[in-house]
Amino acid sequence: MLRSDIEELLQKVMAKFVDEEVIPVAREHDESGEFPYDLFKKIADMGILGIRYPKKVGGSGGNTTLYCITVEELARGLLSLGATTAMQCLMATDGLYRYGTKEMHEKYLRPAMRGEKIGAFQLTEPEAGSDLGNVRTRATKTKDGWVINGMKTWSTSGPVGHFHTVLTQTDPDKGLRGLMFVFIPTDTPGFSHSKKFDLLGTRTTQMSEIYFNDCHVPPEYMLGELGRGLDVLLTILAEIRVMTACLALGLHRAAMDDSIRYCKERVQFGRPIGQYQLIQAKIANMAVNLEAGHLMSYKVTHLIDKNIACLNEASMAKYFTTESACSAADEATRIFGAYGYSMEYSVQRYYRDNRFLLYGGGTHEVLQTTIARQYLR
């Protein structure tokens, strides 16, 4: 895949960082399940957390392609680290950047890009996953701002976040046209969260339920226009989906790299197992799907960088690459045989982590439906 000089340079820098700083401690972090503050700060010091934002607000002046190259490499080392970084760079801070005041930028956005404050993004509720029209967290207008009541679940970075971008409902009778995003700092009275969830995979990703009990926020904390929350989400939905696709590419590469190494080392019946055709077929399928996923995903990032609408293409990329990553992780455990069942080898982590990719950015059942509608309407 052809890349510009700056894209090639960034990929090499991130690959070196992952090889030297992430992979050697990935197992330790996965087993502890704690937020990787040390790695997060190193990533911030490299300017990665502000890679999508212009230099005038303290960012690094990059774009979506550079952002996705970064999260792909991080996911190759530890998917949960890539996912946490992706959240900080995009969903947790984009509304703050687009709609926040200068004072909010100084107090929250710039520290977030320096890794000093962590942001979170709140969409999901027990009765509102894919069905955002059923959001029940309520924002009620007051004379001096808004009062928020309700709860969210599956909040990535929720238990460790310093501020939150929250989807609320201002008028249940309006459904999707009553939605609005609000900005809520963690120190707001009435804000609380549950204990963190104990996860099957992506174990350093901190998730919890979030509760709002008469949380008062000023009017400037409304992100976007009243009742236009869905439009705010749609401005970054293609980016969310292609970002998830690139996380999948990173995990896919890790599973494939480990499989190739093992195929060359493992000897059965007098020769390395990589010389057997059935094993070669598994590697070939991994390689073909990886190449196709790269072409699909980075086509989308370049379209986004040119401000060309591409939500359907992003949906396709997310669907294809995450399914391919799941297949690659599964095949890796088969190539490793019984060793793939051992916690000593990383392939078991890839197998656990890949489930995370199936839900973020849209379930595959919803994606298949929306993709098909583009052709059947």
What pLDDT was estimated at residue 374? Answer: 87
User: What range defines the domain where residue 297 resides?
Assistant: 231-376
Does residue 377 have a pLDDT over 90? no
118: closest CA among 56, 164, 83?
164
Query: What's the rounded mean pLDDT across residues 164-170?
Result: 96
Rounded to the nearest 10°, the torsion over CA 245, 247, 249, 255 is: -140
Please indicate, yes or no, whether residues 127 and 188 belong to a single structural domain of this protein. Answer: yes
Cβ atoms within 10 A of the Cβ of 4, count?
10
Query: What's the rounded mean pLDDT across residues 117-146?
Result: 91
pLDDT band at 95 (very low <50, low <70, confident <90, very high): very high
Please indicate, yes or no, whether residues 151 and 52 belong to a single structural domain of this protein. Answer: no
247: closest CA among 356, 149, 344, 154?
356
Q: What residues have CB less than 8 Å from 218, skipping those under 6 apart?
A: 144, 145
Please indicate, yes or no, whether residues 211 and 251 belong to a single structural domain of this protein. Answer: no
What pLDDT was estimated at residue 134? Answer: 86
What pLDDT was estimated at residue 84? Answer: 96
What pLDDT was estimated at residue 354? Answer: 96
Query: At which of 227, 258, 278 does a domain end?
Result: 227
Cβ atoms within 10 A of the Cβ of 261, count?
11
| Percentage of residues in the chain having pLDDT higher than 70 | 100
What pLDDT was estimated at residue 130? Answer: 80
Q: How far, in Å, CA of 257 to CA of 260, rounded?
A: 5
Q: How far, in Å, CA of 300 to CA of 68, rounded?
A: 10
Please indicate, yes or no, whether residues 353 and 237 belong to a single structural domain of this protein. Answer: yes
Please indicate, yes or no, whether residues 246 and 372 belong to a single structural domain of this protein. Answer: yes
Q: How far, in Å, CA of 191 to CA of 215, rounded?
A: 6
Residue 156 · residue 186 · CB < 8 Å: no
Here the tokens at position 99 are 């709609």
Please indicate, yes or no, whether residues 189 and 236 belong to a single structural domain of this protein. Answer: no
Strands 207-217 and 191-193: what pairing? antiparallel
Q: How many domains, the chain?
A: 3
What pLDDT was estimated at residue 129? Answer: 78
Please indicate, yes or no, whether residues 125 and 242 belong to a single structural domain of this protein. Answer: no
Residue 316 · residue 296 · CB < 8 Å: yes
Please indicate, yes or no, whether residues 154 and 235 belong to a single structural domain of this protein. Answer: no
Query: At which of 227, 250, 278 does a domain end?
Result: 227
CATH at residue 27: 1.10.540.10
For the whole model, what pTM was predicted? 0.95
pLDDT digits (tens, 9 = 90+) for 176-223: 999 999 999 999 999 999 999 999 999 999 999 999 999 999 999 999
What pLDDT was estimated at residue 361? Answer: 85
The mean pLDDT value of the chain amounts to 95
| Percentage of residues in the chain having pLDDT higher than 90 | 90
Please indicate, yes or no, whether residues 237 and 346 belong to a single structural domain of this protein. Answer: yes
Chain length of the chain: 377
pLDDT digits (tens, 9 = 90+) for 306-324: 999 999 999 999 999 999 9
CATH at residue 245: 1.20.140.10
pLDDT digits (tens, 9 = 90+) for 241-255: 999 999 999 999 999
Please indicate, yes or no, whether residues 237 and 353 belong to a single structural domain of this protein. Answer: yes
Residue 299 · residue 245 · CB < 8 Å: no
CATH at residue 174: 2.40.110.10
**Greatest distance between any 2 Cα atoms in the chain:** 80
Q: H helices within the chain, ranges in order?
A: 5-17, 23-32, 37-45, 64-77, 79-89, 91-99, 102-104, 110-113, 229-265, 277-305, 311-336, 347-357, 364-376
Using CA atoms, how far residue 230 sits from 45, 181, 225, 322, 325, in Å, is 33, 9, 10, 25, 29
Query: At which of 113, 128, 158 does a domain end?
Result: 113
What pLDDT was estimated at residue 265? Answer: 96
Q: H helices within 127-178, ranges in order?
A: none
Please indicate, yes or no, whether residues 207 and 223 belong to a single structural domain of this protein. Answer: yes
Please indicate, yes or no, whether residues 245 and 362 belong to a single structural domain of this protein. Answer: yes
What pLDDT was estimated at residue 127? Answer: 84
